[in-house]
């Protein structure tokens, strides 16, 4: 609870969206400001998206983001306590726990769901997501399994890995249509890291589009309005 309220550990983004008249038009979305991103501050509930959501991404122009591809990716990273199945994995880096404690209030809610016709499920992340049960968690032996603890810890001894904390990325630098560097700020000073290989942008659902637009990728009219040179006009 303290992590998601701490400006040292979290970003707070005011978001405006259409809402019912009796609700405020603006709400705050919290995102992780530390190594591991939001996986280092969230509630540790392991809940995957609906298969139809990934199919929609694919239909919108994202090849490789359909459910078949995403299911394979999830299975490859999971180490689920319930073992391997068609829709979940075992032996991966991310430990997924189901929890052993059962609470009277939660059991009453589950029973109410069953009376409404919902199936009780041991795994709410199976491909038929409609059901009722206990959430899975990314917790192992009482400790959070963040992206930093799982993936970075496993790779930290690699000689080609350098993790730069306190770096705030401003934009990706282009030579024509080729991404060649990343400009960022560290303690107020701008630094540019040149790239000989590839650049992977993974800053979350809010900041990734922001970085793309500051880099010149987005709706051309909107970018020119803010004095940003257009690299690629993507509405």
Q: What is the pLDDT of residues 178-192, one digit of tens each?
A: 999 999 999 889 999
Residues 13 and 91 in one domain: no
Residues 178 and 209 in one domain: yes
Its pTM surpasses 0.85:
no
| Domain range for 54 | 41-148
Give a yes or no: residue 156 inside a domain.
Answer: no
Q: Is the pLDDT of residue 144 over 90?
A: yes
d(CA 131, CA 181): 47
d(CA 60, CA 73): 20
In this prediction, residues 103-127 reach a mean pLDDT of 95
Residues 75, 202, 62: CA angle, nearest 5 degrees: 65
3-state SS assignment for residue 67:
helix
d(CA 181, CA 185): 13
The answer to whether the CB of 41 falls within 8 A of the CB of 148 is no
Structure tokens at 13: 């983004």
Give a yes or no: residue 162 inside a domain.
Answer: no
d(CA 88, CA 78): 7
Confidence label for 18 from pLDDT (cuts 50, 70 and 90): confident
Higher pLDDT, 210 or 22: 210
Give a yes or no: residue 51 inside a domain.
Answer: yes
Confidence label for 170 from pLDDT (cuts 50, 70 and 90): very high
Give a yes or no: residue 6 inside a domain.
Answer: yes
Average pLDDT, the chain: 93
Q: Which of 83, 118, 148 is the last residue of a domain?
A: 148
d(CA 156, CA 144): 18
Residues 116 and 60 in one domain: yes
Structure tokens at 32: 């992780």
Give a yes or no: residue 128 inside a domain.
Answer: yes
What's the domain count of the chain?
3
Residues 197 and 129 in one domain: no
In this prediction, residues 130-142 reach a mean pLDDT of 94
Give a yes or no: residue 143 inside a domain.
Answer: yes
**Residue closest to 184 by CA, chosen among 175, 195, 173:** 173
Residues 13 and 68 in one domain: no
Give a yes or no: residue 154 inside a domain.
Answer: no
Q: Is the pLDDT of residue 23 over 90?
A: no
Structure tokens at 115: 């009376």
Residues 51 and 136 in one domain: yes
User: What's the pLDDT score for residue 173?
Assistant: 97
Residues 210 and 139 in one domain: no
Residues 191 and 207 in one domain: yes
Give a yes or no: residue 202 inside a domain.
Answer: yes
3-state SS assignment for residue 216:
coil
């Amino acid at each position: 609870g303290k992590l998601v309220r701490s400006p040292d550990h979290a970003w707070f983004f005011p978001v405006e969206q259409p809402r019912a008249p009796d609700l405020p038009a603006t709400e705050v979305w919290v995102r992780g400001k530390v190594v591991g991103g939001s996986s280092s501050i969230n509630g540790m509930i392991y809940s995957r998206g609906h298969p139809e959501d990934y199919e929609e991404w694919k239909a919108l122009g994202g090849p490789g983001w359909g459910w078949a591809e995403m299911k394979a990716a999830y299975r490859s990273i999971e180490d689920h306590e319930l073992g391997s199945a068609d829709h979940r994995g075992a032996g991966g880096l991310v430990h997924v726990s189901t929890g052993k404690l059962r609470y009277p209030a939660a059991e009453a809610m589950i029973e109410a769901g069953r009376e409404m016709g919902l199936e009780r499920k041991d795994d709410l992340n199976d491909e038929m997501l409609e059901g009722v049960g206990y959430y899975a968690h990314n917790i192992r032996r009482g400790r959070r399994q963040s992206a930093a603890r799982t993936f970075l810890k496993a790779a930290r001894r690699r000689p080609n890995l350098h993790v730069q904390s306190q770096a705030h990325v401003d934009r990706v630098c282009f030579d024509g249509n080729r991404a060649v560097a990343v400009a960022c700020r560290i303690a107020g000073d701008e630094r540019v890291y040149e790239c000989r290989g590839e650049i992977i942008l993974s800053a979350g659902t809010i900041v990734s589009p922001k970085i793309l637009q500051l880099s010149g990728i987005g709706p051309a009219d909107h970018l020119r309005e803010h004095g940003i040179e257009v690299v690629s006009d993507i509405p």
